[in-house]
Amino acid sequence: MSSSTSVFEAIKNYMAKNYGKSHGKMLIHTGVIGWILSAAAQVGAIVTNDKISHKQKMYLIPQELADAAVNIVSFYLITQSFKSVVTKAVNCGKILNKPVREFLETNNVKNVGKKTFDVLRDGKLPKDLVDKFESFRNGVDFTGTTLGSILSCNIVTPIIRNEIATNKQKKHIAKMEEYNISVVDPAKNCYLPRPSIQSFQANAYKSSSSLKI
Amino acid sequence: MSRISGINLIGQMSSSVTDSVVSVMPKTTISGKNTLKAIDWIGDKFSSPENRLILGVTALMTQPFIDARNKKVDEETRKVSVARTVAKIIAGTLTGYFVRAGCIKMIDAMTQLPSKVDPKTFGGRMRMLFTPEDAKTGVLQDLKMYKNALGTTISLFVMLFTNFLIDAPLTKYLTNLFTDKYVHKQKTDKGGTVNE
Domain boundaries, chain A: 23-166
CA A159 – CA A67 distance, rounded (Å): 10
At residue A36, the pLDDT reads 83
Asked if the model's pLDDT at residue A127 lies above 60, the reply is yes
Q: pLDDT (tens digit, 9 = 90+) per residue, A182-212?
A: 766 555 555 555 666 666 566 655 555 554 4
Contact B28 A94 (CB under 8 A): yes
B66 contacts B153 by C-beta, under 8 angstroms: no
B65 touches chain A (CB under 8 A): no
Measured between CA atoms, how close is B144 to chain A, in angstroms?
8
Selected residues 53-72 of chain A with any CB under 8 Å from a CB in chain B: 53, 55-56, 59-60, 63
What is the arithmetic mean of pLDDT over A90-107? 92
At residue A76, the pLDDT reads 81
Q: pLDDT (tens digit, 9 = 90+) per residue, B20-38?
A: 898 899 999 998 889 999 9
Please tell me the least confidently modeled range out of A11-20, A44-53, A136-145, B81-90.
Answer: A11-20
Average pLDDT, chain B: 84
Q: pLDDT (tens digit, 9 = 90+) per residue, B40-51?
A: 888 888 888 898
Length of chain A, please? Answer: 213
Q: Is the pTM of this model over 0.80?
A: no
At residue B16, the pLDDT reads 81
At residue A184, the pLDDT reads 60
Average pLDDT, chain A: 81
CA A203 – CA B168 distance, rounded (Å): 64
Of A75, A43, A37, A89, residue with least CA distance to A62: A43
ipTM for the complex shown: 0.79
Band of the pLDDT at B154, cuts 50, 70, 90?
Answer: confident
Of B21, B34, B26, B36, residue with least CA distance to A139: B36
Compute CA distances A84 → A23, A91, B6, B11, B18, whole Å.
Answer: 12, 10, 20, 11, 7
Selected residues 72-111 of chain B with any CB under 8 Å from a CB in chain A: 72-74, 76-77, 80-81, 84-85, 88, 92, 96
Angle at CA A110, nearest 5°, toward A104 and A111? 105
At residue A199, the pLDDT reads 63
